[in-house]
């Protein structure tokens, strides 16, 4: 192993620094193998936006396509590494044959155009003429073609979209698609697969989505091996290019982890979603069609990636159709393996690659269009040798055939099911004056109609075997929509929870649904009841808090405290400064919160103004959202904060975190957190006693925490509407009512604590 000494790197940089970094001058790369030595160090590596990190021999040993200044950064940060190739482009070109005029055997942009013209000339009855979906930034056409038995007609057949070269240095994905087109057209009439696909599908191809970047690689490295990735946007600051696979509309710019705000980064996302004509034109083309599925080819790493790009999209990083996605890509992996014995790993990027992506094409295609889109990472190199092109194309042929055929089974169902099992009604009394009130749980189930062949007359039956729960309203029908009307249909069920139920409890529920349209399915749901609060003065240890993230420095400290002696501190205990390149958090345990809960905390901070930030965030299962404003600069002392968490229903499960982010330069003292609490509206009423004296009814109860007063309510039905008949202030725990209906009329009463 050859680890470059620090002295060598500094001298090397000093000798070569005359090359201007920001100019539009192509610079060759070194291939560096990095040894992070820990998971934390690996994740920290991904936070350096200037580094072009690419797949290495394993997940734990990445490669970097590096410039000289990248070596200096690795040295400063203490990373061990080895130089694999001192000139990566030269290595690729030599492996491709060293010729200077044919891109090493890969089709050039002009040769792709010629290929599309020729395949239509050879097979005019099953292909369209090439068509443009729009122009690139520099005015080149983004060409497409369609294969089908009636190519110029818009038939009612599943439509599949294949594309490649959104990243300009990834030509193998394009070669695989050209080979697939050749196979389908040359074997139509002879191969059962080709006949089935051409006759029963509409297959659309865009083999080069980034023509400007690809032509730039041809210009700078005509023998192949060019490492330019982005498009050719002049960013106006001496830096060039936008990463077109960070420029799509779904989750664009969600954070600086899954994409970069810096123009010099290889994952620079642009100034806005669809700011680049390449993504804007292709997205408009997609919206003009009715694609069931899409295959967005990339290289390299031997992965089959599915949405979502980030671990917190969709709540847990998985789509509602994750099982279907995995069925598709697992099948493709097996078909690939059967050809050459190469195994592709399948899953979302955050799970397989262990880094997040936002603004990617397949997230937008799934969330905004409803396509089953995947992103294969083909092969083990950006520019495999010329002799590897044909074997790779052959290896991928069965998988592409499968992907085109399975589209007939991927038509999304005309409905999606959502339920709210975390909302509960207010406490209401039994009426017998002897026990604690029962708790009524309202379970709302929603059918979202996403198609035009809608299910009507949908009926549901709810049941539970839980000892603390009884289903009161066990059957319900959903309201129907017109057959071609999309929207949401909602129905409610009601569950009674007995007074002995623990403070925090999960109730298993089973919902069986049937419909005239043939649906007959059973869903296993879980409802939550109870309320957990948080009150931490940081004097009793970590408790239910955990810490993590890049460069984690969160710990309990006595350097500063609001009351009395301890606080959480994100910084170094000895030096009294935080570190660079941090994105770490202090995370609470899962809380089950009431409606209208609020979070309060005290903090002291000293962070570089405009560059380092502290964030307070909450996740209720749909991703992290900000609580209040971020902090930046110097607080000047301890500050008390309180924010409404926006909880709209009781029993909402949530986590709270304090997250600190720092850039690569100035360090200050850091961030201290103390006296953290979550408070809610008044708790439940206990020990309700009802006594009667003729027509006079007396109600007595025990005090409720946080109560500002009490509302007394009455109904003639145990599960009817309870109408308020009076209020009392918090200091009074008694209410008298005259039952004007007469003593022979049964009535039910409840007392509700109010703010």
What residues act catalytically? Answer: 377
Long-range CB contacts (within 8 A, 24+) of 24-29: 24/234, 24/240, 26/220, 26/221, 26/226, 26/228, 27/67, 28/87, 28/88, 28/89, 28/90, 28/227, 29/65, 29/66, 29/67, 29/87, 29/88, 29/89, 29/227
Residue of 149, 127, 30 whose CA lies nearest to 85: 30
Report d(CA 102, CA 86) in Å as an integer: 23
Distance CA 515, CA 536 (A): 50
Sign of CA dihedral 380, 384, 387, 389: positive
Task: With CA atoms as reference, report the closest residue to 92 among 225, 194, 190.
Answer: 225
Scored b (16 or more CB within 10 A) or e, 490-523 reads ebebbbbbeeebeeebebebebebebeeebeeee
Task: Report d(CA 154, CA 161) in Å as an integer.
Answer: 15
Phi, psi of 35 (to 5 degrees): -120, 85
Pairwise CA distance, residues 417 & 346, whole Å: 26
Residue 469 phi, psi dihedral angles, 5° rounding: -130, 145
Query: How far is CA 146 from each of CA 135, 159, 203, 419, 589, rounded to the nearest angstrom?
Result: 18, 10, 6, 41, 52
Q: Does the CA dihedral 12-38-63-216 come out positive or negative?
A: negative
CA angle 486, 492, 494 (to 5 degrees): 165
Looking at residue 505, the DSSP 8-state letter turns out to be E
Using CA atoms, how far apart are residues 35 and 111, in angstroms rounded to an integer? 40
DSSP string, 540-602: S-STT-EEEEET--EEEESSS-SSSS-EEEES-TTT----SS-EEEEEPPPEEE-TT-EEEEE
Going by C-alpha positions, the residue among 444, 445, 440 that lies closest to residue 424 is: 440
The CA–CA distances, whole Å, from 571 to 528, 549, 553, 669 equal 37, 14, 5, 7
Element (H, E) at 508: strand 504-514
| Cα–Cα dist 128/117, whole Å | 10
Pairing of the two strands 61-66 and 30-35: antiparallel
Q: What is the DSSP letter of 367?
A: I
- The closest alpha carbon to 65, from 167, 157, 144, belongs to 167
Report how far residue 388's alpha carbon sits from residue 365's, in angstroms, rounded to the nearest whole number: 31
What span, in angstroms and rounded, lies between the C-alpha atoms of 57 and 142? 34
Q: How many residues does the structure list for the chain?
A: 755
Contact status, residue 84 vs residue 33, Cβ threshold 8 Å: yes
Distance of alpha carbon 227 from the chain centroid: 28
Contact 299, 382 (CB under 8 A): yes
Q: Which residues contact 674 (CB under 8 A, 6 or more apart)?
A: 537, 538, 561, 562, 563, 566, 567, 568, 601, 602, 603, 638
Alpha-carbon distance of 572 to 693, in angstroms, equals 69
Structure tokens at 245: 């696979």
Comparing C-alpha atoms, which of 407, 395, 409 is closest to residue 334? 395
Instruction: Report residue 518 CA to chain centroid gap.
Output: 33
């Amino acid at each position: 192993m050859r680890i470059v000494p620090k002295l060598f790197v500094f001298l090397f940089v000093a000798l070569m620094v005359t090359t201007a970094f920001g100019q539009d001058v192509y610079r060759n790369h070194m291939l560096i193998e990095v040894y992070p030595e820990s998971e934390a160090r690996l994740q920290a590596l991904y936070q350096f936006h200037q580094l072009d990190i690419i797949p290495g021999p394993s997940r734990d040993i990445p490669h970097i396509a590096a410039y000289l200044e990248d070596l200096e950064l690795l040295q400063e940060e203490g990373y061990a590494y080895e130089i694999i190739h001192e000139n990566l482009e030269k290595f690729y070109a030599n492996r491709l044959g060293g010729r200077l005029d044919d891109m090493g055997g890969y089709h050039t942009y002009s040769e792709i155009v010629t290929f599309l013209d020729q395949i239509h000339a050879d097979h005019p009855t099953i292909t369209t003429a090439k068509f443009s979906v729009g122009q690139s930034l520099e005015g080149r056409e983004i060409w497409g073609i369609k294969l089908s038995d009636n190519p110029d007609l818009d038939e009612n057949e599943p439509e599949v979209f294949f594309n490649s070269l959104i990243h300009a240095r990834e030509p193998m994905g394009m070669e695989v698609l050209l080979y697939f087109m050749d196979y389908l057209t040359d074997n139509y009439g002879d191969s059962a697969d080709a006949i089935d696909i051409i006759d029963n599908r509409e297959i659309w191809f865009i083999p080069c989505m980034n023509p400007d970047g690809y032509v730039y690689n041809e210009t700078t490295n005509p023998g192949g091996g060019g490492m330019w990735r982005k498009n050719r946007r002049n960013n106006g600051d001496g830096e060039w290019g936008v990463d077109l696979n960070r420029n799509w509309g779904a989750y664009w710019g969600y954070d600086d982890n899954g994409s970069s705000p810096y123009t010099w980064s290889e994952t620079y996302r642009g100034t806005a979603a669809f700011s680049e004509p390449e993504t804007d034109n292709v997205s408009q083309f997609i919206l003009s069609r009715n694609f069931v599925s899409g295959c967005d080819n990339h290289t390299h790493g031997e992965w089959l990636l599915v949405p979502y790009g980030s671990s917190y999209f969709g709540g847990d990083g998985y789509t509602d159709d994750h099982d279907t996605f995995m069925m598709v890509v697992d099948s493709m992996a097996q078909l690939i393996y059967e050809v050459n014995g190469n195994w592709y790993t399948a899953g979302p990027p955050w799970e397989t690659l262990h880094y997040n992506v936002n603004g990617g094409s397949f997230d937008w295609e799934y969330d905004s269009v409803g396509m089953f889109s995947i992103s294969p990472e083909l092969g083990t190199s950006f520019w495999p040798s010329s002799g590897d092109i044909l074997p790779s194309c052959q290896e991928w042929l069965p998988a592409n055939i499968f992907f085109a055929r399975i589209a007939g089974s991927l038509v999304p169902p005309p409905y999606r099911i959502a339920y709210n099992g975390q909302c509960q009604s207010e406490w209401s009394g039994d009426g017998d004056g002897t026990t604690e009130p029962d708790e009524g749980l309202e379970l709302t189930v929603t059918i979202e109609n996403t198609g035009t062949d809608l299910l009507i007359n949908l009926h549901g039956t709810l049941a539970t075997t839980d000892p603390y729960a009884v289903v009161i309203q066990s059957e319900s029908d959903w309201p129907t929509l017109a057959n071609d009307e999309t929207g949401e249909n909602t129905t409610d069920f009601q569950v009674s929870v007995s007074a002995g139920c623990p403070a925090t409890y999960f109730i298993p529920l089973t919902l069986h649904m049937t419909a005239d349209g043939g649906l007959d399915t059973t869903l296993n749901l879980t409802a939550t009841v109870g309320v957990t609060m948080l009150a931490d003065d940081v004097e009793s240890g970590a408790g239910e808090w955990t810490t993590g993230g890049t460069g984690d420095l969160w710990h309990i400290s006595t350097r500063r405290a609001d009351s009395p002696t301890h606080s959480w501190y994100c910084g170094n205990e000895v030096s009294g400064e935080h570190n660079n390149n941090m994105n770490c958090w202090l995370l609470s345990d899962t809380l089950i919160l009431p409606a209208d809960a609020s979070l309060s905390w005290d903090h002291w901070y000293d962070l570089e103004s405009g560059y380092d930030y502290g964030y307070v965030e909450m996740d209720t299962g749909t991703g992290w959202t900000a609580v209040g404003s971020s902090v930046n600069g110097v607080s000047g002392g301890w500050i008390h904060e309180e924010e409404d968490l926006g909880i709209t229903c009781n029993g909402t499960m949530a986590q709270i975190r304090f997250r600190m982010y720092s850039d690569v330069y100035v360090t200050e003292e850091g961030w201290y957190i103390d006296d953290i609490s979550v408070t809610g509206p008044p708790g439940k009423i206990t020990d309700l006693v009802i006594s009667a004296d003729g027509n006079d009814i007396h109600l007595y109860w025990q005090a409720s925490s946080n109560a500002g007063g009490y509302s007394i309510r009455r109904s003639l039905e145990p599960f009817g509407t309870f109408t308020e008949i009076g209020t009392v202030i918090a200091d009074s725990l008694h209410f008298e009512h005259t039952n004007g209906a007469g003593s022979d009329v049964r009535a039910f009463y409840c007392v509700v604590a109010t703010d």
